[in-house]
Structure 1
Amino acid sequence: MAASKKEALLLCLDVGTGMKDSTNNQSTSLDLCIHVISTLVQRKIFSQSKDEVSLVLFGTNETSNPLNQEDEESYQNISIAFSLGCPNFELLHYLSNDLKPGVLETDFVDALTVSLDHLHKETRYKKISSCRIVLFTNFCHPTSDENLDGIIGGFNTDGMNVQLDVISSFTINKLLSNEDDNPSHSGDDQPGTSTHRRPDRGELPCGEKPKSANQQAGEGIITRMHRGGVQGDCYTLREAVKAVMGFEKCSVRSAKWKCNLTLGSHLSIPCCAYIKTKEAKLKQTWKKCHAKTHKKEDITSNIFYYIDDDEKTEVTKENLGKGYKYGKDIITFGTEDEKQMKFAACDKCLSILGFTDMRNVHVIHHMDDQAHVVIPEAGDEHAGTALSALCTAMVKQNLCAVACHVYRKGSNPKLVALLPKVKLGSHYLVMVSLPFAEDVRPLSFESLFSGKNKQPSEEQLQLAEDLISSMDFTQSEDGIFKAKEKMNPTFQRTFQCLDHRLKHPDSKLPDLNQLINDSVSISHPTSVETLLDKINEKFPVILNKKPQTSHEAWINNKSDVADPDKEEKPGVSVSAHIRNEQTTSIGTVTTDQDFVEILQNGSLPSNEAFDQMEQRIKEFVSDSFVEVLKYKILKCLVTFMEQTNKMNATDRSKRFMNKIKQIVLATNPTLWNFLKENGIQDDSDSSDDEMMTSDRVIGDEADALLDMME
């Protein structure tokens, strides 16, 4: 596999007095340059790029560079702040907090000389594919063009061409034509390194001030360097800030998967599969970090297992076993079961099982988060001919292949669809995963046009069609919608928060970046808004009343003809009577109410009602979520004892309470303590009178208790 391209990027920043000029009375040129550099470093870090970055400052109060150590009288006030290496958060922290402006003036030509020397020394023994110097200055300092030819030669030595990009506060015009050196030639006929149109002579770009003598001299030197063979471009600060808006996405190189495409036992085509599309996911390399050392390796974790009981007995990992819970039962799943159910290992393969019509493979059947492109192996003409013939035949008959895909030996097999594609004379297959029969959940829905009243009119159909057409990106003025140019809002927000937390560890996270907000916001044209208003008018939403049941209709009719002078008994109504007649079993939601209603209505014999109530209470006590149900248990016990007292069945209440006590003490003693604290006492040795609910929870106390629980 070919090595990935690796760039050496040197950022040369002017921090002298000339960079303190303000742009539109807001940020200084130095602040804007630091913002651009910080964003460039962030893009390198978050895109997980292998490029290396270096930072050189000129105009500093101190001097730190190898050339000055050789000759202390030259190359002063130039410092290598960050040697060439992988960009990290320390460099970002330095740019945000530690970088201080200088008070001296330094020639940018000397800074370029130091930068070139540093690049050549640091990249000599590294596998670097390209080198680039980005110069940030506004050329406000005096400069000299001595030994300029030697510097130009330094950009093209040792077989390495160093590119020079210049970012300044004004537009450099002389890069765009040779008109100043040769007036007889038109600038439109000369090649240039910048794509920007040069303004006419005497014309200044909007918002720019006239250039000083130093700026014109610096502009001339940059022009001579580019005309002398130095490659690069020039940008204004405004253009640079706009160009680095948003974080760069990760660069991914797809590795090929080699396998033979088999059809039957006689046809085998050597092929390679490449990932065409795949869901982008964040690599959480910064998820764990030690608070003091900032290293993931300094964090250790120990896992302990305990039984969910009062003693919290510890269990070793060797004594653990797999299990699946079905309802309240836990079904164990041992190693022997796993071996029997595991798929028998086979070698990697891509074997066609059969063919089917393209209409049988819908988009909703596509699974997984990626799709592959299957092409013939490079250099194999026979494989290319065979795959081309197969794709052509499938396209003519509108067929796709269903195949078995095993990535490597021991991997689980996947069911895939191979869709033929013929594009610009090339033939290939698109491989997408399909579900097995057990993974499909067929759902049937009633047709929207099942009734005559639901049939849309021609006007409504036309409005819907117009709305779809107005939202078609392919017909917009900006051209076809390009997904590659859209930023992932999840990534952008994550990187924004990481950057803010690095610079401001104690402050709250900022609001969503306006750039990210604009990318996810939908701006509807005026025509769409007008269509939406018409659709709301032509498709009115009417709330239909729920049809009355026979019982509700009977109740309403009875209430209309009821005698207003006849008083109804308190607590009893016709609707309640109808509801009570329908209650024939005790449920789990309103258990106490169902129990009382059955006894009052007589829909079941009292003994059967008591049996159902006892069974429900036992189920609640034995439930695994007993802590959640403890108030329901208390309420049911109070209601049970009240009803047994009313029906003179205290003996039954006593026997049942003894059973409940034994069950609760054996499984959850804390529940019994809770019941005792709320009025349920152990009266097994007391007289029947003490056992009666009326002696323990009576009158207003019972009502107050029930009100508290409700």
Structure 2
Amino acid sequence: MAPLNVDATIIVMDIGRNVSESEDKNDKSFFKSARECVIRIIERKIMSRPKDLIGIILLGSKKTNNVLAEQCDGAFRHIEVLCELTAPNWQVLRDLPEKALKKEGDWFEALIVAAERLKNSTFGKVNKKVILMTNFQHPAVIGDNSEQVLNGFVEDKIEVDIIGPEIFDDVYKGDDIDLARKFVEVTDGVNVTFENAMRYLLFHRKKAVTPMLWNVGLSIGESISIPVSVYGRIRDETVIKKWQKAVKNPVTNTASTVEGVYRNTKFISTENQTEVEAENIIPAYMYGGFAVPISSTNESMLYNSGDKCLSIYGFTNTDNIKWHNLTGNGVSYLFGRKGNKKAQATIDTLIHCLKDLNMVGIVRRVYNKGNAPVMHVLFPVIDNNDFICLSLVALCFKEDIKSMAFPPTNLKKYNSSEEQINAFKDLIKAMDLMNANDENYDDKEAFPVAETVNPSIQYILDCIAFRAMNPGKPLPQPRDDIIMLFKVPSLVEKRAREPVDRLKKLFVLKEIEIKAKKGKQKVNNTNNSTSFNNDIVTEDVPKMNLQLLQKLHLSEEVTSIGTIDPISDMKALLNKGKTLADLKLEIVEVIENLIYINFDDDYTKALETMRFFRTESVNNEPSHYNDWLVTFKSNLMERQKNNVLHMIIEEKLNLITKDENSSSSFTLEDTNKEDSQLYENDTIPNSTELLISSELNDLYDEM
């Protein structure tokens, strides 16, 4: 059984000889206009009402494909049921004919075929509708049963809409037109032209849904609780909520019907790359860069927001709530509980009190048990006493508000003259959007709040529709209807021209050329970066090459190891009497920064620094290099930098062997010469990414 509030629509589209040519040479033919309208209707169904049912009947087709033609010989000819009632999909659009044919059909018989399909293919509470698109140039055979057919449409509650000719105009006369008018009148249908229909279908609009009701008690203190109902008024949502991945068939260039994307979640240990069962996983919370495990015994210590509630914490002046204090993804309206007159009367009293005192309420909202609490503000909304409610908007936390300090403007040199102030007032009046369109538009107001669509969303939906019909072509530019949303209304542009010219004369702007100060460049060595003095010309900094930086660097007294020329820094500090043990921490920090904070994958400087560090350790104390390298390799594996691990092996920057060092101070026991040639096996452990299956790597790439 079809769900409630579902529309079952059959479109009867005339593709015969009578619609193939246009009445005016410069205009489009009736067939092309009808085809564009059908495409927009089905696109609207796919985007906003995917649960509706849609069917297509072609009038004037070469084929005769309908049930009634099989039952009645010689009748219902050239009527083809192209698509039975089904959910709207892109294949229906692909099957539409590209051009009109030379046959002709009877539109009255096509309506009977459509009614038969609606009656036998729908069940339950469904809104039945037939949309007829024909120019009535081919006369229909109207028999004595026309009144019986009309009564059948009324009994089955089938609405008939006619798009194309304006049949209620006096220009159209004849028996066909009279019968078509009766179909529209007795079934409460509509008759619109293609121009008006396309104007309605110009933009994709969201499906109108009843807002979800949230019943809760509005508590004030410990003893007052008012039963209220909260409705979502405005909600910001993503254009496409869920994408479903499909495997593309290279032959048909469409989604495969036999292959799909299979996802499976596994827990992998980073130590030995083995799978861990879900019951052996200990949940943890990230505290900064550390994972803090939480056992079942500690769950009672976690914060609990409690049951759902809407509690007023206090009241404050409306002026204390600025626009930048508000957040959230929508606005809700609060009324007294539906059907509870006392609750609504109490809420009305609260609203009037807040309005008279110029105050708002601050409330704590918990949508459901276990949800995080959010602070909201209650604004009174009174619209000429016809619409009274409280609006509910989320509030920012203090740390989310960024305060920006601006220089004072109440200085004498910033004071404006009366003439300048009046010029700005005239500009504001000229740019009034309430009277911005001329007589060519139905409404004088430009960009009305309740009707203006989001151009970005419209373009995304247009691209989806285009890609569905043209999978191999590049996406088009935004259509003119979307570009128009960015243009200044004609009357506003005309009225604002004079005030703008007056403002240009009253406010003479002079371009100030900031001359760069020439000063001595000073380089400040740090372990991670190089900073320059403020006197340096910033536009010259990108032109300075590495050799110039090194010369400037060497001219300064070296006090620490930097990333510009770390080897020279190490040599200078060693010559000053510092030992390798003193410089070990600085050296390893510079090497790690050169590898971890690297955006061009050029590790030459880092490897050269490692080579110098290793050479000094061979001649001094191998443990400085070996102990660090073991930890460094482990960190590289965790960061998935296997390319650096291979470079270390290729450059022979492995652990220092005992044969390389002449000193006898070793940190590991020399128990067996064959097994102790290295302090530790200098090979890539089995837990690296090299042993991970390619399927698992692809999964991580998608994530």
Distance in 2, matches of 1:112 and 1:680, equals 85
- Please say which of residues 425-434 and 658-667 is displaced more in the overlay: 658-667
The C-alpha deviation readout for 1:200-219, integer Å capped at 9, x for no partner, is: x7xxxxxxxxx8xxx85533
**SS of equivalent to 2:95:** helix
- The corresponding residue for 2:121 is 122
1:433 CA drift (Å) = 1.4
Q: 2:129 aligns with which of 127, 132, 149?
A: 132
Which ranges of structure 1 fall in alignment gaps of 5 or more residues? 177-197, 202-210, 553-570, 642-649, 689-710
The C-alpha deviation readout for 1:604-662, integer Å capped at 9, x for no partner, is: 98134966653222224566828868433234356779xxxxxxxx9777226663245
Q: In 2, are the aligned partners of 1:260 and 1:350 still within 8 Å (CA)?
A: yes
1:368 CA drift (Å) = 1.2
Residue 303 (1) aligns with residue 269 (2): no
Q: In 2, are the aligned partners of 1:621 and 1:664 still within 8 Å (CA)?
A: no
Q: Please list, as runs of the form range in 1=range in 2, the aligned pairs for 1:374-385 lying within 5 A after superposition.
A: 374-385=334-345
TM-score by length of 1: 0.74
1:375 CA drift (Å) = 0.5
Change (3 A) 1:637 1:69: closer
Q: Please list, as runs of the form range in 1=range in 2, the aligned pairs for 1:209-288 lying within 5 A after superposition.
A: 218-223=176-181, 225-226=183-184, 229-288=186-245
Question: What's the Cα RMSD here?
Answer: 4.0
Q: Please list, as runs of the form range in 1=range in 2, the aligned pairs for 1:158-173 lying within 5 A after superposition.
A: 158=156, 160=157, 162-168=158-164, 170-172=165-167
- The corresponding residue for 1:663 is 628
- Please say which of residues 628-637 and 454-463 is displaced more in the overlay: 454-463
Distance in 2, matches of 1:264 and 1:242, equals 53
- Please say which of residues 468-477 and 679-688 is displaced more in the overlay: 679-688
Query: AA paired with 2:596?
Result: F
Distance in 2, matches of 1:353 and 1:589, equals 57
Q: Please list, as runs of the form range in 1=range in 2, the aligned pairs for 1:41-52 lying within 5 A after superposition.
A: 41-52=42-53
Q: In 2, are the aligned partners of 1:463 and 1:535 still within 8 Å (CA)?
A: no
Change (3 A) 1:465 1:609: farther
Change (3 A) 1:333 1:549: farther
Query: AA paired with 1:301?
Result: R
Distance in 1, matches of 2:472 and 2:433, equals 43
Distance in 2, matches of 1:296 and 1:423, equals 58
Distance in 1, matches of 2:41 and 2:281, equals 50
Change (3 A) 1:416 1:103: same
- The corresponding residue for 2:32 is 31
Tell me the percent identity. Answer: 22
Change (3 A) 1:541 1:653: farther
Q: In 2, are the aligned partners of 1:460 and 1:538 still within 8 Å (CA)?
A: no
Distance in 2, matches of 1:261 and 1:687, equals 79
Query: AA paired with 1:13?
Result: M
Residue 419 (1) aligns with residue 379 (2): yes
1:269 CA drift (Å) = 1.6
The C-alpha deviation readout for 1:508-527, integer Å capped at 9, x for no partner, is: 32222332233245567155
Q: Please list, as runs of the form range in 1=range in 2, the aligned pairs for 1:519-668 lying within 5 A after superposition.
A: 519-522=485-488, 525-526=493-494, 528=496, 534=503, 538-545=508-515, 576=552, 580-581=556-557, 584-588=559-563, 591-592=566-567, 606-608=576-578, 613-621=583-591, 625=596, 630-637=603-610, 654-655=619-620, 659-665=624-630, 667-668=632-633
The C-alpha deviation readout for 1:528-549, integer Å capped at 9, x for no partner, is: 5666675596344424345667
Q: Please list, as runs of the form range in 1=range in 2, the aligned pairs for 1:183-194 lying within 5 A after superposition.
A: none
TM-score by length of 2: 0.75
Q: In 2, are the aligned partners of 1:343 and 1:412 still within 8 Å (CA)?
A: no
Change (3 A) 1:51 1:526: same
- Please say which of residues 133-142 and 334-343 is displaced more in the overlay: 334-343
- The corresponding residue for 1:21 is 21
Distance in 2, matches of 1:480 and 1:338, equals 59
Distance in 2, matches of 1:467 and 1:335, equals 65
Q: Which has the larger radius of gyration?
A: 1
Q: In 2, are the aligned partners of 1:12 and 1:58 still within 8 Å (CA)?
A: yes
- The corresponding residue for 1:364 is 324
1:369 CA drift (Å) = 0.3
Distance in 1, matches of 2:426 and 2:120, equals 65
1:40 CA drift (Å) = 0.3
Change (3 A) 1:25 1:538: same
Change (3 A) 1:73 1:223: same
Distance in 2, matches of 1:49 and 1:545, equals 63
Q: In 2, are the aligned partners of 1:38 and 1:92 still within 8 Å (CA)?
A: yes
Distance in 2, matches of 1:108 and 1:303, equals 57
Q: 1:509 aligns with which of 461, 475, 494?
A: 475
**SS of equivalent to 1:343:** coil
Distance in 2, matches of 1:456 and 1:640, equals 67
- The corresponding residue for 2:350 is 390
1:298 CA drift (Å) = 4.5
Residue 289 (1) aligns with residue 246 (2): yes
**SS of equivalent to 2:11:** strand
Query: AA paired with 1:633?
Result: A
- The corresponding residue for 2:448 is 482
Distance in 1, matches of 2:613 and 2:414, equals 53
Residue 10 (1) aligns with residue 10 (2): yes
1:93 CA drift (Å) = 2.6
**SS of equivalent to 1:132:** strand
- The corresponding residue for 1:429 is 390
- The corresponding residue for 1:699 is none
Distance in 1, matches of 2:329 and 2:12, equals 42
The C-alpha deviation readout for 1:292-317, integer Å capped at 9, x for no partner, is: 665799432123444557x6454444
Distance in 2, matches of 1:296 and 1:466, equals 67
Change (3 A) 1:24 1:251: farther
Query: AA paired with 1:606?
Result: K
Number of equivalences = 606
Residue 409 (1) aligns with residue 369 (2): yes
Q: In 2, are the aligned partners of 1:613 and 1:640 still within 8 Å (CA)?
A: no
Distance in 2, matches of 1:139 and 1:171, equals 11
Distance in 2, matches of 1:608 and 1:358, equals 66
Distance in 2, matches of 1:131 and 1:652, equals 87
